[in-house]
């Protein structure tokens, strides 16, 4: 425990080297978005997907069809045969092999970009130019500067930009936030997040997620982004951060272990370890307060555990079949003027800024 305290203290000193969270222009106001709300007040949002790969088979694609007042009307993949196969299997009326054709389809109201990060900025700018709302897969861009470019473009076109950090809308994390806001652990004083997995080797290490030229870095960008975005959602934005990234296994070019220490705008401090060369899988956020502690997994479909007063309470909250669907519903509701989505271009950019700070020691 003493070692951990010393490490955290040392990292806190280093935060002086890191920049303060940059500010971005705010999202267009409701009145500025009136033109879109009027155009989309058709009682249904018609979606098109760019990049109908594995992530869209169960996690996201069916959610566009099952959400209320939502329909999936077109998909695109560079391999036309695969696009046609996806459309046939999922009952989607149109398919394309060119992104521009889907973006400019007059029957497509909003676009979900589900490609690897290296193409996010280019595709996002095209969607903004077409003045269509966009749901961008995470991470939002290869780096924070790419996020800023996207936020600026959608701001100029007065078009909403959302990011697929779908955990913000899952019942488990809504329950965690409810418990925190109810003060069940007293004053929140510190946060610890960790994720462990075994080292990828051989053919597995050749996947695009380990190639910084496509993914932006390694598994840290792909997986840790979810946990960091959750901390932004559950606690408050991270405003100062210092991190270290190293490659310990040598089976791919990207980093495989990253650590960070950070401070939130609310004044709470935290520490994180993402070790992808460990001896086991582990996955949890621990939120420690003045009178108790909350623990929740990020990826595992596990329970919330509350420890307070010497007792333990378990909240069994399971994921829905299509984990993107609750977030998609919040987007549809906002586009139809009936709600708000909490995963925006601005929040996605904050998460990318935190990751940039953590990785800059490795990608100089």
- 187 and 276 co-located in one domain: yes
Chain CA centroid to CA 110, Å: 19
**Domain-located, residue 5:** no
Range of the domain at 258: 171-319
Across-strand partners of 94?
74
CB 246 within 8 A of CB 257: yes
Rounded to an integer, the average pLDDT of 141-167 is 98
**Domain-located, residue 186:** yes
- 93 and 209 co-located in one domain: no
Task: Give me the sign of the Cα torsion angle 340, 122, 228, 302.
Answer: positive
- 267 and 177 co-located in one domain: yes
Counting the structural domains of the chain, the total is 2
Q: What is the CATH number of the domain that holds 57?
A: 3.40.50.720
Q: What is the CATH number of the domain that holds 206?
A: 3.30.360.10
Task: Give me the sign of the Cα torsion angle 314, 301, 354, 56.
Answer: negative
The string of DSSP letters for 150-190 reads: HHHHHHHTT--EEE--GGGGSHHHHHHHHHHHTTTTSSEEE
Across-strand partners of 76?
50, 96
- 287 and 223 co-located in one domain: yes
Q: What is the pLDDT of residues 247-286, one digit of tens each?
A: 999 999 999 999 999 999 999 999 999 999 999 999 999 9
**Domain-located, residue 215:** yes
- 45 and 77 co-located in one domain: yes
3-state SS class at 272: strand
**Domain-located, residue 349:** no
* Parallel, antiparallel or unpaired: strands 311-315 and 304-308: antiparallel
**Domain-located, residue 363:** no
Q: What is the pLDDT of residues 182-221, one digit of tens each?
A: 999 999 999 999 999 999 999 999 999 999 999 999 999 9
Classify the phi-psi angles of 43: left when phi > 0, otherwise alpha if psi is within -120 to 50, otherwise beta.
left
- 160 and 239 co-located in one domain: no
- 157 and 189 co-located in one domain: no
pTM: 0.91
- 159 and 216 co-located in one domain: no
In this structure, of 19-28, 94-103, 306-315, the range with the lowest mean pLDDT score is 19-28
**Domain-located, residue 145:** yes
Whether residue 100 has pLDDT greater than 90: yes
- Please state, in angstroms and rounded to a whole number, the distance separating the CA atoms of residues 208 and 195: 20
- 178 and 308 co-located in one domain: yes
- 66 and 188 co-located in one domain: no
**Domain-located, residue 209:** yes
The token pair at 5 is 């305290």
**Domain-located, residue 307:** yes
- 176 and 312 co-located in one domain: yes
Quickly state the pLDDT bin for 30 (edges 50, 70, 90): very low
Structural domain ending residue among the three candidates 111, 136, 165: 165
- The mean pLDDT of the chain is 92
- 187 and 313 co-located in one domain: yes
- Please state, in angstroms and rounded to a whole number, the distance separating the CA atoms of residues 321 and 38: 32
């Amino acid at each position: 425990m003493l070692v951990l305290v010393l490490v955290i203290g040392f990292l806190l000193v280093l935060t002086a080297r890191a920049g303060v969270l940059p500010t971005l222009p705010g999202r267009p106001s409701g009145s500025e978005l009136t033109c879109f709300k009027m155009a989309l007040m058709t009682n249904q949002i018609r979606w098109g997907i760019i990049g109908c790969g594995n992530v869209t088979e169960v996690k996201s694609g069916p959610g566009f069809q099952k959400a209320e007042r939502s329909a999936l009307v077109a998909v695109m993949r560079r391999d036309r045969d695969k696009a046609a196969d996806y459309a046939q299997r999922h009952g989607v009326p149109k398919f394309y092999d060119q992104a521009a054709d889907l973006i400019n389809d007059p029957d497509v109201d909003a676009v979900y970009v589900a490609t690897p990060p290296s193409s996010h900025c280019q595709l996002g700018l095209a969607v903004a130019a077409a003045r269509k709302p966009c749901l961008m897969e995470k991470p939002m861009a290869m780096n924070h500067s790419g996020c800023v470019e996207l936020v600026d473009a959608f701001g100029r076109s007065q078009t909403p930009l959302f990011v697929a950090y779908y955990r913000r809308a899952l019942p488990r994390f809504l329950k965690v936030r409810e418990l925190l806001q109810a003060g069940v652990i007293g004053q929140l004083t510190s946060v610890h997040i960790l994720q462990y997995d075994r080292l990828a080797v051989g053919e597995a290490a050749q996947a695009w997620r380990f190639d910084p030229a496509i993914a932006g870095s390694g598994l840290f960008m792909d997986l840790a982004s979810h946990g960091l975005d959750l901390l932004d959602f559950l606690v408050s934005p991270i405003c100062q951060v210092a991190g270290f990234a190293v490659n310990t296994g040598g089976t791919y070019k990207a980093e495989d272990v990253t650590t960070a220490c950070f401070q939130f705008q609310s004044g709470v401090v935290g520490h994180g370890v993402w070790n992808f060369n460990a001896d086991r899988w582990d996955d949890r956020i621990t939120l420690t307060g003045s009178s108790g502690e909350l623990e929740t997994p990020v990826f595992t479909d596990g329970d919330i555990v509350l420890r307070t007063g010497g007792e333990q309470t378990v909240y069994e909250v399971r994921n829905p079949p299509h984990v993107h669907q609750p977030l998609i519903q919040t987007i549809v509701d906002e586009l139809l003027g009936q709600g708000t989505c909490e995963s925006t271009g601005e929040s996605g950019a904050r998460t990318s800024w935190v990751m940039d700070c953590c990785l800059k020691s490795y990608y100089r």
